[in-house]
Amino acid sequence: MLSFFRIFLVISSIILITACTSSPKKSGSATLSPKLVAKLQAMPLKNAFPIPVQHVESKQLTDTWGASRSSGRTHEGIDIMAPRGTKVYSTTDGLIASLSPNNLGGNVIWILGPSGSWHYYAHLKSHKRGLKVGDYVKKGDLIAYVGNTGNARHTAPHLHYGLYLNGKGRGAVNPFPYLR
Give the catalytic positions in this structure: 158
**Torsion sign, CA atoms 74, 96, 125, 56:** positive
Contact between 58 and 180 under an 8 Å Cβ cutoff? The reply is: yes
Across-strand partners of 80? Answer: 159
Q: What is the DSSP letter of 178?
A: G
CA distances from 93 to 72, 137, 173 (A): 33, 6, 19
Spatial separation of the C-alpha atoms in residues 102 and 175, rounded to whole Å: 21
Spatial separation of the C-alpha atoms in residues 44 and 115, rounded to whole Å: 5
